[in-house]
């Protein structure tokens, strides 16, 4: 089967419907606060931003490549598919790991990623909830355009299908992996799988607050192995106490989350990653040396030796 753009969109759409139907049946959309402009409206607006910005990036990237390298189109066309595809996935995910990690370490970049962490419930609608500019910083659109220009469109489309489906899966409220991790027959398979790819268990940690949450880790979007490689991975095998930003971190209005810096309330932007006026329980050196770090609901970091 040839993986073109239409096929990739069908795969992404089917995975969305699969998890959305389960979430709907389980009542995750029944709370009145979900159907507000601040929640569903912001997530829907962000997804529209994603589609518009992604289309714009593909146009700009294609124009730049053709203008700067007019004879380079199709230079990868004769290369075998599988090595190109694997190289693309590994490189794109590693680049995404660092952009995502820097977004939690650099205050100016955090401002564009912050909307992704404001929801207090985790479900499919959070998957593409970002400030409009975030979609420029993440590497998959740029690298995908290079692959298409280079004659490996199928590798780019398959990568997009896997990445898009993974985004729905890891943000879904459906915690299917916990049962498989506890089952003695499937536990050995899950032990390997959860150390290679990101699953709901490991990504929910990144959004979580309380005992089983730690936003300063588990940065991998599709491949969790990079977190293990760099010591930022936590595997809790547990449901989180809650989700969202720590107490004391400002949540901006919906329009500012979507379109900052063009739309914003009066005053300076809040670039803080953690609450202000809070004395850390542990030093930065202690946190760096810890085998794991737990971020509490009030934003304090507790080390696990």
pLDDT confidence bin for 260, thresholds 50/70/90: very high
Q: For residue range 7-59, what is the model confidence (pLDDT) as tens digits?
A: 889 999 999 999 999 999 999 999 888 999 999 999 999 999 999 999 999 99
pLDDT confidence bin for 296, thresholds 50/70/90: very low
What pLDDT is stored for residue 305 in this prediction?
46
Sign of CA dihedral 210, 211, 217, 219: negative
Identify the residue with better confidence: 274 or 263.
263
pLDDT confidence bin for 297, thresholds 50/70/90: very low
The CA distance from 154 to 88, in Å, is 12
For residues 56-77, average pLDDT: 91
DSSP 243: E
Crossing angle of helices 153-171/200-207, nearest 10°?
Answer: 70
Residue with tokens 């089967």: 1
Q: For residue range 160-217, what is the model confidence (pLDDT) as tens digits?
A: 999 999 999 999 999 999 999 999 999 999 999 999 999 999 999 999 999 899 999 9
For residues 255-260, average pLDDT: 96
- Burial of residue 151 (CB within 10 Å: 0-12, 13-18, 19+) is middle
For residues 105-120, average pLDDT: 95
The answer to whether the predicted template modeling score (pTM) of the entire model surpasses 0.85 is yes
What pLDDT is stored for residue 264 in this prediction?
87
For residues 288-294, average pLDDT: 58
- Which of these, 219, 231, 176, lies nearest to 200 by C-alpha position? 176
Alpha helices in the chain (DSSP H): 5-25, 42-68, 81-103, 107-113, 134-137, 140-149, 153-171, 176-182, 187-193, 200-207, 225-230, 254-259, 284-289
Q: Is the pLDDT of residue 280 over 60?
A: no
Q: Is the pLDDT of residue 270 over 90?
A: no
pLDDT confidence bin for 289, thresholds 50/70/90: low
For residues 137-152, average pLDDT: 94
Q: What are the structure tokens assigned to 249, written together?
A: 């971190």
What pLDDT is stored for residue 298 in this prediction?
46
């Amino acid at each position: 089967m040839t993986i073109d753009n239409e096929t990739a969109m069908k795969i992404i759409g089917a995975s969305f419907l699969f998890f959305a139907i389960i979430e709907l049946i389980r009542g995750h959309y029944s709370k009145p606060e979900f159907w507000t402009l601040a929640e569903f409206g912001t997530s829907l607006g962000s997804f529209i931003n994603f589609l518009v910005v992604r289309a714009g990036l593909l146009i700009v990237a294609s124009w730049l490549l053709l203008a700067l390298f007019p004879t380079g189109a199709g230079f990868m066309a004769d290369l075998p598919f599988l090595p190109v595809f694997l190289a693309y996935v590994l490189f794109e995910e590693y680049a995404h790991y660092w952009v995502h990690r820097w977004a939690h370490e650099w205050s100016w970049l955090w401002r564009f990623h912050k909307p992704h962490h404001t929801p207090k419930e985790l479900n499919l609608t959070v998957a593409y909830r970002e400030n409009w500019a975030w979609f420029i910083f993440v590497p998959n659109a740029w690298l995908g355009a290079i692959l298409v220009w280079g004659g490996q469109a199928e590798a780019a489309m398959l990568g997009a299908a896997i990445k898009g489906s993974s985004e729905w899966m890891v943000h879904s409220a459906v915690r299917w992996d916990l049962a498989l991790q506890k089952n003695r027959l499937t536990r050995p398979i899950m032990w390997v799988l959860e150390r290679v790819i990101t699953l709901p268990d490991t990504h929910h940690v990144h959004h979580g607050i309380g005992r089983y949450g730690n936003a300063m880790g588990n940065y991998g979007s599709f491949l969790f192995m990079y977190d293990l490689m760099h010591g930022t991975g936590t595997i809790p095998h547990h449901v989180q106490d809650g989700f969202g930003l720590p107490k004391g971190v400002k949540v901006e209005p919906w329009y500012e989350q979507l379109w900052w810096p063009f739309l914003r309330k009066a005053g300076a932007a809040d670039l803080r990653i953690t609450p202000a006026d809070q004395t850390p329980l542990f030093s930065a050196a202690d946190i760096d040396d810890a085998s794991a770090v737990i971020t509490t609901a009030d934003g304090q970091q507790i080390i696990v030796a």
